A and B are shown apart, each in its own frame.
Chain A
Amino acid sequence: MKLSYYPGCTLKTKSKNLEDSAIASMNALGVELVELPRWYCCGTVYSLADDDLMRQLAPLRNLIRVKGEGNSKVVTLCSFCYNTLKRANLMMKDDQAKRDALNSFLDEEEDYQGEVEVVHLLEMLRDEIGWEAISERVKLSLGGLKLAPYYGCTLLRPQEAAIDQVERPTVLQDLLKTLGAEVVDFPFATECCGSFQIVSNPDFVLDCSWNILSSALRWGAEALVASCPLCDYNLSQRQGELVQGYSEFRQIPILYFTQLLALSLGLEPEVCCFDLNYIDPRPLLKSKGLLR
């Protein structure tokens, strides 16, 4: 099966570890992710202003391109891209006034009505491939690894863009259990990491990280599992300061769910690009016998 795939900016720069491990894993599962030609930045955040349609053009043009390629579905890996494309698409489907205004502004031949389906890779794994099929392909069980699934905001909010139950999601934990890991249920799994406040108020983001990470540690997690490059950065980057500031704090690596999937499917560790993780997860993985 071939699927149209939208990478977004960060996966081509800082988060190659998310992209490479995802492409390799999907290949192993029989799905070829075909990068959308001439894609460009979706804008990262969906505009929350009702009167500003200009900011909808970037996600919209990407969606039109997917349709132009003859595809009815596009898959995303970055949680931010997912949310922005998904919401722009829903707007084109559900809001006639905005749809008409945007279509008359764009000079594309054919009007766009929200025909393309925007899905996140986690939805693909759950709904198209299925946990059972994945478990049959598992070559290396992640048994003994205690993982805290961390969803953040944009996979779950708003309701209409949520890939799972908003307050009590299970998709990440279901995947990790399928891979054999021990899942840690902790109360901050859907709490915001501080997001783009890293640009303006980084110290408050550090406080948010502390809330999330210290809770995960208290509940026994050895690593956090994420899907968003911004969560990854915010939660990892200043852990050194937390170690210095709080005696009970220990460093805890953040992994992308795709890295664990690739490892568990028995792929070469190179596709995981562990050297790009802000906190090196290799000592932990080696101590569990998951990596040589």
Chain B
Amino acid sequence: MRITISPQRLSSEFVRKVEEISGQTLPSCYQCGKCSAGCPLSFAMDLLPNQIIRLVQLGLEEDIANSKTIWLCASCLTCSVRCPRGVDLAKVMEALRLLTLRKNVNYVEPSRIPQEVLAELPQLALVSGFRKFTA
């Protein structure tokens, strides 16, 4: 994959926003990959968690938007408790989701969930799912 990086990208509004919402210092990540090694959902992800944070560092927001990874994260916090650099990657994932959700775009459409699924799911599944995936 060929990527272009530029000073404008590195200090873009996108990077600033992710840092602001997540409260994380993005350059702290030194790409050891420990987050991805322990991620229980990595098998389903097209980009690994450490690749996501690298792309954020470089301001490459289109590549993140084209990936499903941030929507597969389960906020399990395994990455966050293991990062040797103290980066709370789960918060970075949340910030990235919120950049979309705050444009009033839903990832999960509650009205499209079938009635029988709604009736069967435990309450905490629905509330947490809607908190994570709806605007």
Contacts and interface: CB of A to CB of B under 8 A. Distances in A.
Q: Are A and B genuine complex partners?
A: yes
Contact of B40 (A41, A50, A191, A232): A191
A195 B75 contact: yes
A10 B128 CA distance: 12
Contacts of B43: 204, 207
A167 B44 CA distance: 24
Contacts of B123: 9-10, 13-14, 41
A232 to B, nearest CB: 8
Interface size class on chain B is 35 or more
B37 interface: no
17 contacts: A9-B123, A10-B123, A44-B127, A45-B131, A47-B131, A49-B94, A52-B21, A78-B124, A157-B80, A195-B74, A195-B128, A198-B125, A200-B71, A200-B133, A201-B71, A204-B72, A229-B122
Contact of A50 (B21, B77, B122, B126): B21
Given A9-B123, A78-B124, A200 B41 contact: no
A49 B40 CA distance: 22
A166 B107 CA distance: 31
A80 B75 contact: no
B121 A198 contact: yes
Nearest to A162: B81
Contacts of B121: 198-199, 233
Given A49-B21, A158-B80, A201-B72, A8 B44 contact: no
Nearest to A41: B127
Indicate the size class of the contact surface on chain A.
35 or more
B131 A43 contact: yes
A287 B107 CA distance: 46
B76 interface: yes
Given A51-B20, A80-B124, A192-B41, 19 more contacts: A9-B124, A13-B123, A44-B127, A45-B127, A45-B131, A48-B94, A153-B78, A158-B80, A194-B40, A196-B74, A196-B131, A197-B72, A199-B108, A199-B113, A200-B129, A207-B44, A229-B124, A230-B125, A233-B125
A interface SS class = loop
A55 interface: yes
B132 interface: yes
B81 A157 contact: yes
Interface of A: 8-10, 13-15, 41, 43-45, 47-52, 55, 78, 80, 153, 157-159, 166-167, 191-192, 194-201, 204, 207-208, 211, 229-230, 232-233, 237
Contact of A44 (B94, B108, B124): B124
Most buried by B among A159, A192, A207: A192
B26 to A, nearest CB: 13
B71 A45 contact: no
Interface in B14-63: 20-23, 40-41, 43-44
Contact of B129 (A10, A80, A196): A196
B90 interface: yes
B87 interface: no
Nearest to A153: B76
A208 B127 contact: no
Interface in B76-135: 76-78, 80-81, 88, 90-91, 93-95, 98, 107-108, 113, 120-133
Nearest to A80: B124
A233 B44 CA distance: 21
B91 A50 contact: yes
Given A153-B76, A196-B129, A51 B124 contact: no
A231 to B, nearest CB: 10
Given A194-B41, A197-B72, A157 B77 contact: yes
